Chains A and B, each alone.
Chain A
Amino acid sequence: MIDFLVPRGSTFAGEIDNLFLIITAVVGFWFVLTMGMFLYMMVAYRRREGVHAEYITGKEPELKRWITIPHGIIILCDVVLIVGAVRVWYMVKQDRPEKGDEVRIVAQQWAWTFYHAGPDGELGTPDDIAVVDELHVTVDTVYHFSLESRDVLHSFSVPTFRLKQDVIPGRKITGWFEPTRLGEYDIQCAEMCGIAHGVMGARLFVETEAEHAAWIERMTAMAAK
């Protein structure tokens, strides 16, 4: 459903889409049932000449069943939804696959700085490539990222990855993603961060290994000049 609007660009995007689909199916079932009942009542029991309302208290066992049985089934549905939600949450936010590459992300009013590993493949060395508002990653590689803020709250949001994480000054927040789809996508700041919050976007470039190596080379050459 979501992938109809935004392509799936990470390993967990499909999981989140499916979770949304399951939730939609379960609550959709109840929604259709309840709404159908509601609309039926509104039509069937509209005021008619000579027909009087019945005196019903809601304590009649044969009628109360219509409330208590759905009530019980809803609890079961809730269990399914909770298990589904926690499973996906655990996968995206708690578990973390082995690192393939890493990126350090620094947010400030109103720009993103992305520190990519340079030719040596290590972050935190002098050949790191720092780029403003452009994130370049290799497809099918597990990235570990860290988020820092220089001033206020921001939120690192990549719709195509189905990933969002707030950035908090004074803390370093970590997480992961694995891009699966080549192309160029939006990165958003999803937390109100001041007057230019509306332009705090960046672009994500998902590249093949060769493209990424070429980009690193180009950037390193540019820095050397």
Chain B
Amino acid sequence: MSADHADHAHHHHEPTFIEKYIFPTDHKFIATQYLVTGLLMALIGGFFAYAFRVQLAWPGTDIPVFGHMSPAEYNAAITNHGSIMIFWVAMPVLIAAFGNFLIPLMVGADDMAFPRLNRLSYQVFLVSAIMIIVSLFVPGGGFGGAWTAYPPLSAEATYNLTPYGSSLWLAAVAVEFVAFLIGGINFIVTAMNARAPGMKWDYVPMVVWMICIASILFMASVGPLVAGAVMLFFDQTLNTGFYDPSRGGDPILWQHLFWFFGHPEVYVVLLPATGMVAEVITVFSRKKLFGYQLILFTAIGTGVLSFFVWAHHQFIAGIDPRMANLFTITTVLISIPIAEMLFLYIATLYKGSIEYTTPMLWALGFIFCFLIGGVTGIPLGASGSDIYLHDSYFVIAHFHYTFFPIAFIGSFTGITYWFPKWFGRMMNETIGKIHFWITFIAFNGIFLPLFVLGLAGQHRRIYNYEHFPDLSTPDLQMLRVMATTSLLILLAAQVLFIFNFFWSMWFGEKASANPWKANTLEWTVPSPPPHGNFSEFPTVYRGPYEYSAPGRDTDFWPQHEPS
């Protein structure tokens, strides 16, 4: 690859307008497309959250901007909130945007291995995003059968009453998977084949590893679900009976296929976020990553184990009760690599010199919240206590303590850290810190009450708890109002981020090539990097985390600097 590199380096021509904006192949521009699309989709997902949380706190009220919410609209709102936040926010931002932006820059390549395939990936993704938005406006309304789409409810229009919404929802999800399959191939191939000379496997920055492992997990787990989705689509549209018990089908089959994908999917989005956190905590504590190889092994271990835990979502779904015991064992065991990874991150701070910049606050906030998310998963993975907690708000609270840190705290970590490289200007630190603190406190204000509600027996996906006498007490309603109020504060705080993002993009202080004094290769090129990235392809001499190495004048040691 190095010989090719030398040839290529001098052949870049400046792209025309159409090449740059309509049919771009530059990985950085495609990354920006993914980032902006993902953040716009987050506004839709956030709007749904706003609407159904207001409904829960003040049932039947006229929700500002949304209006009165019917039960069908409530179901569609929660279903699409979940689907959009996972498939159209977490995945495009964490994997596609950061994978595209970072992998070529961090491994020292001029672009992705397959630039046109990369462009196709985004275009397919955009089609899927349009499909999910359109599905909200078709006759009958958007799909409301929960993001897990269990048949027979999802399979038959006579049950779900959304003949077009459910098929379009399913098709959109399947098309989105295609986009990420294409993207994933690209990430893996680029990281494997386009690395700068000298970049051995343990010189690769952790975030690149994490995105690659995530892509492998995705590619290995998504196949069964795509097959399942095709069968479900046939059930919906061609009147087949794959999931219809009255015609020899089995509704539980879908649950197996869905969760065989669904659980690894958690780690598909988790790993890139942990990778970004690793980059940030090392830079801002001026420390080498504590146990690079061990962290890598915990990630791989988690990934492998995640293929053997799926039925913990189905303990009480009617599977053979003996099977639950096996899946309890595998599920509880996953605590070992995850706990170890968190220990190693915390150990990285030991004897460091921690500077509390905005990205560092986000990275530490990630560890804080994910720790809560991790420990609250144990009572759900333990079959005995899951009998009570299954499908309760305890699950919702646990899930959001993992997913919010991943999708938002992780993304904010990455955006605030790489913003100078991406857009060539610094973000405003004061606004950034205010945004962090409000978001962080409000997030805990939303989901801590939900743990209590879950323990009080509040079940999920109910548009109005007034129909359940034991759940419509003033105390529990107060907790609901508390969560909703916190959500409103959290959503309002995002205006700060949006303002900071765009204001800094045009008026921020110009960024130097390496404003954080970091070691990895992306900081050796100008901010923002030009088309083709490197004027001269770098050679790598050491690992990415050589901070505060003894016997040097500076406390960092870039990977490309000869000894």
Q: Is the CB of A74 within 8 A of B375?
A: no
A119 within 8 A of B: no
Number of interface residues of B (CB under 8 A): 97
Pick from B315, B384, B455: contact of A84, CB below 8 A: B384
Contact B336 A78 (CB under 8 A): yes
Answer whether A198 and B463 are a contact pair too, CB < 8 Å, given A59-B291, A159-B470, A162-B388: yes
Flag if B379 contacts A171 (CB, 8 Å): no
CB distance from A170 to the nearest CB of B (A): 2
Contact A94 to B321, CB < 8 A, known contacts A38-B371, A47-B354, A196-B71? yes
Q: Does B438 contact A (CB under 8 A)?
A: no
Contacts of A1-60 to chain B: CB distance below 8 A? 1-2, 5-6, 15-16, 19-20, 23-24, 27-28, 30-31, 34-35, 37-38, 41-42, 45-48, 51-59
Contact check, A6 vs B456: say whether CB atoms are below 8 A apart. Answer: yes
Question: Nearest Cβ in chain A — how far from B349, in angstroms?
Answer: 4
Query: Is there an interface contact between B457 and A159, defined as CB atoms closer than 8 Å?
Result: yes
Contact partners of B464 in chain A: CB under 8 A: 198-199
From A136-144, A183-191, A206-214, the one touching the partner chain is: A183-191
CB nearest neighbor in B for A32? B375
Contacts of B151 in A (CB 8 A): 152
State how many angstroms separate the Cβ of A4 from the closest Cβ of chain B: 8
Query: Which of A63-71, A97-105, A120-128 contacts its partner?
Result: A63-71
Q: Is the CB of A41 within 8 A of B336?
A: no
Contact B246 A82 (CB under 8 A): no
Q: Which residue of B lies closest to A37 (CB)?
A: B346
| A155-196 interface bits toward B, Cβ cutoff 8 Å, 1 = contact, 0 = none | 101011011111111110100000000000110111111111
Nearest Cβ in chain A — how far from B121, in angstroms?
A: 32
Closest A residue by C-beta to B353: A53
- Min CB gap B126→A, angstroms: 29
With contacts A27-B378, A59-B291 taken as known, whether A193 is within 8 angstroms of B343 at the C-beta atoms is no
Within 8 A of A (CB), among B301-328: 315-318, 321-322, 324-325, 328
Which residue of the partner chain A has the closest CB to B322? Answer: A94
Most buried by A among B71, B74, B352: B352
Contact across chains for B287 and A56 when beta carbons are under 8 A apart: yes
Q: How far is the CA of A48 from the CA of B378 in the complex (A)?
A: 39
> Is B189 part of the binding interface, using a Cβ–Cβ cutoff of 8 Å?
no
Separation in Å of the A75 CB from the closest CB of chain B?
A: 6
Determine if B318 and A173 form an interchain contact, defined as CB atoms under 8 angstroms apart.
Answer: yes
Q: Is A81 an interface residue (CB 8 A)?
A: yes
Q: In the bound complex, do residue A58 and residue B344 qualify as a contact, i.e. CB atoms below 8 Å apart?
A: yes
Q: Which of A24, A74, A94, A157 contacts B335 (CB 8 A)?
A: A74
Is residue A215 contacting chain B, with contact meaning CB distance below 8 A? no
**A194 lies within 8 A of B353 (CB):** no
- A2 in contact with B332 (CB, 8 Å): no
B383 touches A86 (CB 8 A): yes
Which of A34, A88, A170 is in CB contact (< 8 Å) with B346?
A: A34
For the complex, is B161 an interface residue (Cβ under 8 Å from A)? yes
Residues of B within 8 A of A86 (CB): 325, 328, 383-384
Chain B, range 140-168, C-beta contacts under 8 Å to A: 144-146, 148, 150-153, 159-161
A130 within 8 A of B: no
Are B375 and A28 neighbours in the complex by a CB distance under 8 Å?
A: yes
When the two chains form their complex, are residues B349 and A42 in contact, meaning their CB atoms are under 8 A apart?
Answer: yes
Contact of A218 with B by CB under 8 A: no
Q: Which residues of B contact A129 (CB under 8 A)?
A: none
| A45-B336 contact in complex given A94-B322, A168-B251, A194-B160, C-beta closer than 8 Å | no
Chain A hits for B100, CB < 8 A: none
| 17 residue pairs from A and B, CB less than 8 Å apart | A19-B384, A38-B346, A45-B354, A47-B355, A52-B555, A71-B340, A78-B336, A85-B383, A93-B316, A160-B457, A162-B387, A164-B316, A186-B469, A189-B459, A190-B459, A194-B75, A196-B71
Pairs of residues from A and B, 3 with the lowest C-beta to C-beta distance, nearest first:
A170-B245, A88-B384, A159-B457
Known: A41-B349, A46-B356. 19 other contacts (CB 8 A): A6-B455, A23-B379, A23-B382, A38-B367, A57-B290, A58-B290, A58-B344, A58-B347, A66-B347, A81-B382, A85-B382, A85-B384, A169-B152, A189-B459, A195-B144, A197-B75, A197-B461, A198-B74, A201-B468
Write the residues of chain B forming the contact surface with A, with a CB cutoff of 8 angstroms. Answer: 71-72, 74-75, 144-146, 148, 150-153, 159-161, 245-246, 250-252, 285-292, 294, 315-318, 321-322, 324-325, 328-329, 332-333, 335-336, 339-340, 342-344, 346-356, 364, 367-368, 371-372, 375, 378-379, 382-385, 387-392, 452, 455-457, 459-464, 467-471, 547-550, 555
Give the interface of A toward B (CB within 8 A).
1-2, 5-6, 15-16, 19-20, 23-24, 27-28, 30-31, 34-35, 37-38, 41-42, 45-48, 51-59, 63-64, 66-67, 70-71, 74-75, 78, 81-82, 84-90, 92-94, 109, 151-153, 155, 157, 159-160, 162-171, 173, 185-186, 188-199, 201, 203
